[in-house]
Chains A and B, each alone.
Chain A
Amino acid sequence: MGELVQLASFGLTEGEVLSALGRVKVRDVDYADLYFESCVSESVSMEETLVKRATKSVSQGVGVRATAGEKTGFAYSDELTKKDLELAADTARYIANSPSGAQALPAPVRQRPTRDLYPVERVQVEVATADRVALLNAIDAEARRYDPRIKNVMASFNTEYKVVVVATSDGTLIGDVQPLSRLQVTCIAEEKGQRQSGSFGGGGRVGFEFYHEGDRHLRFAREAAREAILNLSAVDAPAGVMPVVLGGGWPGILLHEAIGHGLEADFNRKKTSAFSTLLGKRVASDVCTIVDDGTLPGRRGSLNMDDEGTPTSRTTLIENGILRGYITDKLNARLMGIPVTGNGRRESYQSVVLPRMTNTFMLAGTSDPDEIIRSVDRGLYAVSFGGGQVDITNGKFVFSASEAYLIEGGKVTRPVKGATLIGSGPEILTKVSMVGHDLKLDEGIGTCGKDGQSVPVGVGLPTIRIDEITVGGTQR
């Protein structure tokens, strides 16, 4: 893949970048960085058996940032001339007390990330539109073949090819190429005037061939169709507190909402997180160990380096039930005096860096998944979810099931309609009494929102039993 610091593709020389960086890093500025990004996104979508929409978007720009104490000055520009860089630099350094006086910075060491978690060539991502169209057509046929009650199939395939270069005042000049793609299928089923929907999807930092491996695209189509058909016979969900068994994989969204956000360093530095006084304390039962790991090859939430040029890592958040650590970016790590974990992420050059999750999951336990279900007399078995949300400060979180079943007498019985589950982050994991040996990561569809910024993330979970959580159905 050669040299990753592709400054030339931004029409800039190392000298110009260094000069701009020196202009931002005035005396009272603790840290400054420039983030250059060029991104090409393409999308095709299908409905009513027609692939009738195709879009392509090109964006390029630079974000310039200075931090001084707790203050951040930030400016961005979609023009990359020397003049625009200087203007952005002057804006960013406004927060420092010393208004001017460019500093000469040591020559940075040109680096490339020490590993390549997504060795994908550009041609594997930006495949011909005809190939994308064929992929979606095959999905439509497969979903309709699954069951004649499938009345509409909506599918979309999105790719992104992002080239970034980060220049920092602590002497780093590093680049990365970040491919990303996602295939999403939604089916509408209809029977006797009643309609239901089902969705499935996946992807990652992978090439186009990923979707054909083992006919993955057709499996996505069947899964979406299956969920839609299943929901046609779903009964109303129960309401109230009960035991809930979560299936493996995507239900790991529980961890993302219940504890992940609460362990992001910014909220804890500001002491506005329900977890900010709980480091070293028990926040989960001893069968729970939870990590955030940005180093898994090809995963949607993985990165060779974060958006401050720090290599991503595996951070233990909870170890046998004890809260061990926060996920950090440079600013919060410095202010809190804790290690940088490589979780400084941003949606694009237009957004500031925040501590964000990568792939967050619970390690496998020892229980047999069937035994976990058998242990419940009356409860819910939830295997697929829509989105979730959390109030960081009081710790209350929700996540909404899209495929769930009643457990009656230790057996999975009828499918129930979607329902929201609500709990309290610092408490819910203390109620996890069994953890399966079947850890599964999700298929690669997650997008996390914070402060209006969206970034791709992953989650994972073995089958677990939660002794009690409030289920927001409509039936007593």
Chain B
Amino acid sequence: MNQQLQQRDGYSQLALDLLAKAKRSGATEADIIIAEGETFSVQVRLGAVDRLTKAREKHLGLRVFVGKRSASTSTSDFSPDSLNALVAETCTLAKAVVEDPVSGLPEADQMAGERPDLDLYDPTRLNTEQQIDLAKRVEAAAMSTDERVTNSEGGDFDSSSGRVVLGNSHGFLGEYQSSSFSMSASPVATDPETGAMQRDSWYDVQRKFSKLNSPEAVGLEAARRTVRKLGARKVATQRVPVVFDADIAGSLMGNLCGAVSGYSLYKGASFLAGQLDKSLAPDYVTVYDDGRIVGGLGSRPFDGEGLPTRKTTVVERGVLKSYLLDTYSGRKLGMASTGNASRSVGENPSAGPTNFYLAPGSKTAQEIIKTVKQGLYVTDLIGFGINMVTGDYSRGASGFWIEGGELAYPVEEITIAGNLKDMFAGIEMVGSDLVFRGRIASPTVKIAEMMVAGS
């Protein structure tokens, strides 16, 4: 514990030292981020250890401003010589680019003051045998429930923890610790008649070990999702209602997230440019970004620039109310940051989600499927066929054909296409089944109509 404390003070001191050095090398402003972490991951396959990975890593990112010019650098080499060279190089690099009138740190009086404890860290450490056992259990559960599960891509258990220190030349110095525990199973099922194979997977991820689902529950769900795909076929090309399974509906929220990011907006690269305060969806659609959910996978006490995180209503009763902004993209759009600076070490900040989600409605997934006479229930999407500039959407899909309100048979090798603007406007129902398994989440969503291309 003492050693840990000492190291903590060490990195804060290092940040302060480097900020002072940057100033002496000609920087007018600077910020620095130091991230360190350790990861331990176990993959088992068919009951035996397949891969075991263990590592510690650290990384430091420096951003300097020389007047209105700026540059960012990063290194994993913390030796004094290397860091001294880094400071000098960053200042030289900054002087080589042009002036950007809106560049700079956030205003000094905006920096995060109170830093709530969001309960992001769990000190639990599993030993190697415990972690192997958990990975074996999740795979075994997936393999043992149905004899059509014949093979496996493996069962995984990963744990990681880390710490972020952020400081800037306004005198801001903050840090937080976080951890994550995750497991997954990826079984393969074989159709006993045709020999055709299907694979799917299921997972859970939590900041606290004690909050994880049991490996048995995760493995069973993986098997259920895999076996139900057997016998999948194509359907004829037609326009039908499409229901997105909650897990896959999260990808629609991911698309929305990209479209409301300040950077796509000021570049004119988003189909939602100029749509603020306009109607995007029906009035039962409300979307939040909340950086302060206790224990949330996207939660943090301050953002990548040291501004306080908060809860932002992105879509309120169908109306687009806010973008996701950091200081730079906000200034470009003439708005204040929303505390959404996301920062990977060595990169300039960008604007990204914290915990971004569609507020749940009242219907269960089954009740929603019941309302569809003939249509598609999507459980999987592949490919990158989305044009964020126009909103045009065309992706590979698989799932189930709905007939008379019931799942009739599995389908595959089809595409669904439309335009994201029409898709959001066409949301007919929102499910009650919101579960966070990442930073972006959604309940089940029904869209009035999309083009399904098949045979």
Given A47-B267, A71-B51, A94-B52, A129 contacting B97 (CB threshold 8 A): yes
| Contact (Cβ within 8 A) B51 A239 | no
> B14 within 8 Å of A by Cβ?
no
State whether A270 and B153 are in contact (beta carbons under 8 Å apart), knowing that A190-B268, A398-B383, A472-B394 are contacts in the complex.
Answer: yes
Q: How far is the CA of A421 from the CA of B59 in the complex (A)?
A: 41
Q: Are A423 and B413 in contact (CB under 8 A)?
A: yes
A420 CB–B CB distance under 8 Å: yes
Contact A387 B387 (CB under 8 A): no
In the complex, B368 has a CB within 8 A of chain A: no
Give the residue of A58, A72, A197, A397 whose beta carbon is less than 8 angstroms from that of B50: A72
- Cα–Cα, bound, A47→B56 (Å): 37
CB-CB < 8 A to B232: which residues of A? 394
Consensus secondary structure, chain B interface: strand
Among B53, B75, B347, which residue has the most Cβ atoms of chain A within 10 A?
A: B53
**CB–CB A239/B417 < 8 A:** yes
Query: Is B421 part of the binding interface, using a Cβ–Cβ cutoff of 8 Å?
Result: no
Asked if A53 meets B50 with Cβ closer than 8 Å, knowing A188-B269, A197-B269, A472-B417, the reply is no
Let me know if A274 is at the binding interface, CB within 8 A.
yes
What B residues does A271 contact at CB under 8 A? Answer: 151
Task: Report the minimum CB–CB distance from A237 to chain B (whole Å).
Answer: 7
Which single member of B100, B199, B268 contacts A188 (CB below 8 Å)? B268
Cα–Cα distance between A237 and B453 once the two chains are bound (Å): 11
> Among A47, A57, A129, A398, which residue has its beta carbon within 8 angstroms of that of B396?
A398
Indicate whether A239 sits within 8 Å of B451 (C-beta atoms), given known contacts A59-B75, A398-B396, A419-B385.
yes
Task: Check if B169 is an interface residue, CB within 8 A of chain A.
Answer: no
Interface SS of chain A: strand
Interface centre among A77, A272, A274 (most CB of B within 10 A): A272
In the assembly, what is the distance between CA of A42 and CA of B141, in Å? 47
Interface membership of A195, Cβ < 8 A: yes
For the complex, count residues of B whose C-beta is within 8 A of A: 77
CB–CB B413/A95 < 8 A: no
A116 interfacial by beta-carbon distance below 8 Å:
no
Q: A350–B198 contact, CB under 8 A? A: no
List the B side residues contacting A78 at CB < 8 Å. 56-59, 76-77
Please report the C-alpha to C-alpha distance between residue A420 and residue B180 in the assembled complex, in whole angstroms.
Answer: 35
Q: Which residue of B lies closest to A76 (CB)?
A: B55
CA separation between A78 and B59, bound complex, in Å? Answer: 9
CB neighbours of B98 from chain A (8 A)? 50-52, 133
Please count how many residues in chain A sit with their CB below 8 Å of the partner chain's CB atoms. 78
* Given A50-B98, A51-B98, A472-B416, CB of A57 within 8 Å of CB of B383: no
A424: chain B residues at CB < 8 Å are 413
Check B259 for interface membership: any CB of A closer than 8 A: no
Docked complex Cα distance between A475 and B451 (Å): 8
Structural contact, A56 and B93, CB atoms closer than 8 A = yes
What chain B residues lie within 8 Å of A59 (beta carbons)?
A: 59, 75-76
Q: List residues of B (410-443) whose CB comes within 8 Å of A's CBs.
A: 412-419
B151 touches A71 (CB 8 A): no
Check B390 for interface membership: any CB of A closer than 8 A.
Answer: yes
Q: Give every chain A residue within 8 A of B77 (Cβ-Cβ).
A: 58, 60, 78
Bound together, the chains give a CA A157 to CA B170 distance in angstroms of 32
What are the residues of chain B within 8 A of A472 when measuring CB–CB? Answer: 385, 394-396, 414-417, 451, 453
- A400 touching B55 by the CB < 8 A rule? no
- Nearest-neighbour CB distance to chain A for B399, whole angstroms, equals 12
Structural contact, B382 and A391, CB atoms closer than 8 A = yes
Which residue of the partner chain, among B69, B71, B188, B389, contacts A272 with CB atoms under 8 Å? B188
B327 at the interface (CB under 8 A from A): no
Residues of B within 8 A of A133 (CB): 96-98
**A244-272 interface mask toward B, CB cutoff 8 Å, 1 = contact, 0 = none?**
00000000000000000000000000111
Would you call A188 and B267 a contact (CB within 8 A)?
Answer: yes
Would you call A420 and B51 a contact (CB within 8 A)?
A: no
Q: Is the CB of B453 within 8 A of A396?
A: no
Contacts of B151 in A (CB 8 A): 270-272
CB distance from A91 to the nearest CB of B (A): 5
User: Inside 8 A of B100's CB, which chain A residues have their CB?
Assistant: 50, 52
Docked-complex contact B415 and A422, CB < 8 angstroms:
yes
Against B, the Cβ 8 Å flags (1 = close, 0 = not) of A37-61 are: 0000000100110111111111111
Knowing A73-B52, A152-B268, A419-B394 touch, does A54 contact B94 (C-beta < 8 A)? yes
Contact B395 A398 (CB under 8 A): yes
Contacts of A423 in B (CB 8 A): 413
Answer yes or no: B49 CB below 8 A from chain A CBs.
yes
Bound-state Cα–Cα, A128 to B48, Å: 52
Q: Inside 8 A of A399's CB, which chain B residues have their CB?
A: 383
Asked whether any CB of chain A lies closer than 8 Å to the CB of B237, the reply is yes
Asked whether A389 lies within 8 Å of B197 as measured between CB atoms, the reply is no
Q: List 8 A-B contacts (CB under 8 A).
A: A53-B348, A56-B74, A152-B267, A272-B199, A388-B384, A396-B398, A471-B415, A472-B395
Known: A59-B76, A470-B234. 14 other contacts (CB 8 A): A48-B267, A51-B97, A54-B96, A71-B48, A76-B57, A78-B59, A129-B93, A129-B97, A239-B453, A241-B455, A271-B151, A352-B53, A471-B453, A472-B414
Q: Which 9 A-B pairs have the closest CB atoms?
A: A472-B415, A398-B383, A393-B199, A398-B396, A420-B385, A400-B385, A129-B96, A239-B453, A387-B384
